[in-house]
Amino acid sequence: MSRGNQRELARQKNLSKQKQQAKGKKEGDPKKRMAADADILRQKQAAADARKAEQNQSGQRK
């Protein structure tokens, strides 16, 4: 009869579990999200290529 505290603890545990599961989910159209992610990756790759090219040129000058 005195299970009120146990129920409250179970509710809190379940609530935190649901928040953890929802944290990883992304909302929105998956195709648009994929396209946006691809654009970001292309920009990062272009920046990395430019950095490598500059390092190669500076290495050749020495």
Whole-number pLDDT of residue 27: 74
Report how many domains make up the chain.
1
So what's the pLDDT on residue 2? 63
Q: What global pTM score does this model have?
A: 0.49
Q: What are phi and psi of 3, to 5 degrees?
A: -105, 15
Predicted pLDDT of residue 22: 79
DSSP at 28: S
| Cβ atoms of 47 and 55 closer than 8 Å | no
For residue 16, give its domain range.
Answer: 4-61
pLDDT averaged over 10-residue windows placed end to end, the chain, 62 residues = 80 92 78 93 97 88 56
